[in-house]
Chains A and B, each alone.
Chain A
């Protein structure tokens, strides 16, 4: 028996387990997937929790619901990968050998990376919304919050779901307006980037939205520390922003197992060929999703598009053929803008988000870089698609490669 081992049963790992079980004969290939947790979180839903739109039960299901028949599932922490020996050591001493390895261990928030962030105000006046605990704590906090400076800060690049903090401030604007207390809340978006986003057109469009919604932006801010006593954040250049409530997007790092395995960069992301998705030094190791260092968004949509490329290339590797698929960095992000509307961006390594219609040229139904009600419905509908189609590795009516048709230059 040959062995395919998948580390991590989040979005990317689960999709790959489903796809590869479909491709590989059960009497020839053993497929094993390892994860330390039994619960699958619908992470795009975390954003909705602080504003009371979703609760915890809306975003959790057992991971076991999504594994195909014929895949071995091991719930365990991973000690490390010993790439030179083609084996993985689990925490309890179990050794797993592999012919091919897929690393899909994702990224985690690391609030301990910024001085004073995870300190005495943590989950009292300082929150994150990238964990279920943080999102739920913030929902409870907002129920009785009297207002003041609401500071949303991105600690460092790269971070998961790059549009989420923007959506957060758009939602916050609508939430506090609907509660009749927007005049008591000053919303400040503090980012290490030079504007609302990285690429020119999306930055302009999203920057204009911030202005329309009376959200202040503090750009080029690289946080050095959080002063808990004076309730302010301070950057390396000495700029200070006082807060009453701080919502942080902490530093994102790859799993510490990557570091123990000696396979990571200085943020524990795995150096990966951005087109083939093969790990840089080992021909039988592939990396998918947030765990890799490829220069595109850390997002479920990227993992989804990449999964189709990896499925094809892994089959090439197994059958001894040259790689036939090449990943273009395709990302597709619905952006909630509040009041039941949203916008949408679609881009890749080389093409910035452009205006137009998606997925059907001229028809839509979704509008790129436009604020529409349909885009919001797209985002809500996506939760159903995620649980029922995407995780199970089924075909979606969207090309994995980014399309120029429907876009305006």
Chain B
């Protein structure tokens, strides 16, 4: 656990750089994390981030399937928006915990 300054805001992050306090998040912080991850944010990114944050707030598990059914984007677009590791990047930028997969 450490504190990191992103876009002029001090935020709590874990070892992997995921924010641990959702209330510290704002759009500028998101843009700051996105820049580090090499993602350029569009309106669709923010729309999806709202959906993700809402989903996580209600305690639901985030999955690729769920995002594909979000009505905001489909799975293919999601990959284009966050190249490489979409679910990991999208959650990091949205200021929510990294999704854990339980098997």
What residues of chain A have their CB less than 8 Å away from a CB belonging to chain B?
A: 156-159, 162, 192-193, 197-198, 220, 222, 224, 236-238, 266-267, 295-297
**Closest residue on chain B to residue A293 by CB atoms:** B61
Since A156-B64, A159-B103, A237-B83 are in contact, a sample of 10 more A-B pairs with Cβ atoms closer than 8 Å, ordered by chain A residue number, is A158-B101, A193-B101, A198-B102, A220-B85, A224-B76, A236-B78, A236-B79, A236-B86, A266-B65, A297-B102
Contact B79 A198, beta carbon cutoff 8 Å: no
Give A319 Cβ to nearest chain B Cβ, in Å.
Answer: 31
Of all chain B residues, the one with the shortest Cβ separation from A222 is B64
Top-6 shortest CB links A-B: A162-B103, A295-B102, A236-B79, A157-B101, A237-B79, A236-B75
| Secondary structure of the A contact surface, majority rule | loop
Assess whether B102 is in contact with A266, with CB atoms less than 8 Å apart. no
B64 adjacent to A297 (CB under 8 Å): no
Asked if B69 lies at the interface with its beta carbon under 8 angstroms from chain A, I say: yes
Q: List residues of B (63-79) whose CB comes within 8 Å of A's CBs.
A: 63-66, 69, 75-76, 78-79
Query: Which size class do B's interface residues fall under?
Result: 10 to 19
Measured between beta carbons, the chain A residues less than 8 angstroms from B79 are 236-238
Asked if B38 is at the interface of the complex by the 8 Å CB criterion, the answer is: no
Main secondary structure of the interface of B (DSSP, over half): loop
Q: State A158–B100 Cα separation when bound (angstroms).
A: 11
On whether the beta carbons of A158 and B102 are closer than 8 Å, the reply is yes
* Minimal Cβ-Cβ distance residue in A for B76: A236
Within 8 Å by CB of A222, from B66, B69, B75, B103, lies B75
A-B contact pairs, 7 of them (CB 8 A): A156-B64, A157-B63, A193-B103, A224-B75, A236-B76, A237-B79, A266-B65
Nearest opposing residue in chain B for A163, CB measure: B103
> Which residues does chain A contribute within 8 Å of B100, judged by CB atoms?
198, 295
Residues of B within 8 Å of A266, CB to CB, are: 65-66, 69
Contact assessment for B84 and A237 in the assembled complex, using a CB-CB cutoff below 8 Å: yes
B65 contact from A156, A197, A198, A296, Cβ within 8 A:
A156
Q: Which residues of chain B come closer than 8 Å to A158, judged between CB atoms?
A: 101-103
Q: Which residue of A lies closest to B103 (CB)?
A: A162
- The closest CB in chain A to the CB of B61 belongs to A295
